[in-house]
Structure 1
């Protein structure tokens, strides 16, 4: 494995994959120190608790490979032990239903990141595929409670107005855990230069994704196209608030994408992704060292690579979660 990659803390800000031992083995092959792992999108409270229970069981059964992350020291411990830290995260506030108390309950279970909306409107605000009325009154209370219990606010699939109001409402750093710049490709899921600067100027964080429909060259992209997108973002906002958030969907078939692209999982079809093929050189999590090599090939300094691979994420997680 690439020496710089092997020595760095490597954090992926978003993975939504088919969780099993082969996937965890591939994470280790890729030198992944920690990953934000989606355990809820369209599911309500009860289904989400079941998902969390399943993930915790998997972590116990594969303790030689993975460990649960609740704070930044857990990430450092995972690095020392040669394991991958699993950060429980949601891509929708839907699981909390209309109960603010569920936020603390999920925090107690170890959930550390919640995306406010997934593409459409919910009780908190509006997603990026609908007319955006902004953050609701309940949404403001929701963010205040997330701040209190140490859960990071994610705005990746959230509409522009709701995102702007959430950034201003939060007392702690918020993130786009997995997005791409609209300056390279116009898409409802991509963020404008203005949006990227706005979150960065207010202490927020940007995880750059490589999900092919949002990349400039789509399914024809390779790992250097991903580096191009990260570089574009850094040139806008600086290298201290940018990281990776691949959005790996490893192990899933068409049925998953049919489910994920329908509102609440079963009703309106929101978008058409077409063929999903990750960039050449980063087809699987096990190929993650290729990203470090591509950054080196692009002439990046080692200090910048270390920040983007994971040091930046670790710092901002500490600001939201606390050190221990």
Structure 2
């Protein structure tokens, strides 16, 4: 008889690891059905196309264990075929440059999730590490076009004002693909109870991250601390609009963290994470079954576990991506 983890759809709403065969092998070892895999931060249109081309080559070269996800049927197929589904995602709309036509072009390439801003200001709005001027007029056009072509709006690293205006502007559900509640730890990247309720009340979605610097106990955290954070959000907004968004950075060295904590990867320092260690019990993607086990240990029902491990993501993706 299959375990609950083996039989469940497991979706990681944000994974930004160093994508290579060893990471993909660990994703399959962990039972991942599909993951939103970051292919752009501050890259322009041309470099982002190159990143997508490289990822698609990896999918072809490792087709026995990988498949590209374009719709929710592809997720169900990946589960059936025991392959890992790769969802192409951006952590910034910088790659759209100032050309709305690029949005549909990226959708045609397979991009299905795009975060509006990565930490700081861009043409669309403002990130969470500086004074927030809100959503620009161009930003409203960007959201309308993302809604039209079926790219999900992600607000994880976006400033509070820009987020609120984006939630109001979008006609499709938006998400925090990877965040934690500031009710457990104050941090510019964490979301207040009000922000979490706001996105849920508008039909949006919350992916809860396990990135240790944002957890209450930091690098001392365990998988049970991660469960506490998920439970906090569920108690606030309900179990139907919450999922997993680990923000795994597997395979990267300190140079990676140095880059992502500076504006555009090379200018002023925005924050300092210090030592980054994933919670004990889920240090690697291959340990994902320990997360399901921790949920069972916490006394969660099978229905809740299945929803949060992946079924909720499938439902909201279907709403955004269409049939």
TM-score by length of 1: 0.99
Q: Determine if the alignment matches structure 1 residue 272 to structure 2 residue 283.
A: no
Deviation of 1:278 after TM superposition, in Å, equals: 0.1
Structure 2 partner of 1:83 = 83
**What is the aligned partner in structure 2 of residue 210 from structure 1?**
210
Q: How far is the alpha carbon of 1:259 from its aligned partner? A: 1.1
Q: Tell me the equivalent position of 1:232.
A: 232
Root-mean-square deviation over aligned CA pairs:
0.8
Deviation per CA, 1:256-288, whole angstroms, max 9, x where unpaired?
A: 111111111111111101000000000000000
Q: Secondary structure at the match of 1:320?
A: helix
Q: Distance in 2 between matches of 1:187 and 1:262?
A: 17
Runs of 4+ in 1 over 6 A off after TM superposition: none
Q: Distance in 2 between matches of 1:215 and 1:7?
A: 29
Q: Which residue does the alignment assign to 1:49? A: 49
* Cα shift at 1:42: 1.2
Q: Structure 2, unaligned stretches of length 5 or more? A: none
CA distance in 1, matches of 2:157, 2:309: 22
Q: Is the 8 A contact 1:66 1:84 kept in 2?
A: yes
Shift of 1:322: 1.3
CA distance in 1, matches of 2:2, 2:207: 22
The answer to whether the 8 A contact 1:2-1:293 is kept is: no
Looking at structure 1, the residues matched to 148 and 155 of structure 2 have their Cα atoms a distance apart, in angstroms, of 18
Matched, 1:193 2:193: yes
**Contact 1:261-1:270 within 8 A present in 2 as well:** yes
Structure 1 residue matching 2:176: 3-state secondary structure: strand
CA–CA distance in structure 2, aligned partners of residues 2 and 190 of structure 1 = 36
Cα distance change of structure 1 residues 183 and 75 upon mapping to structure 2, 3 Å threshold: same
Q: How many residues align?
A: 323
Instruction: Give deviations 1:1-60, integer Å, cap 9, x for gaps.
Output: 970000000000000011111111100100000000000001111111110000000000
Q: C-alpha separation between the residues in 1 aligned to 2:130 and 2:269?
A: 12
* In 1, Cα distance between equivalents of 2:121 and 2:137: 14
C-alpha separation between the residues in 2 aligned to 1:173 and 1:319?
7
Number of the residue aligned with 1:130? 130
- 1:316 paired with 2:319, answer no
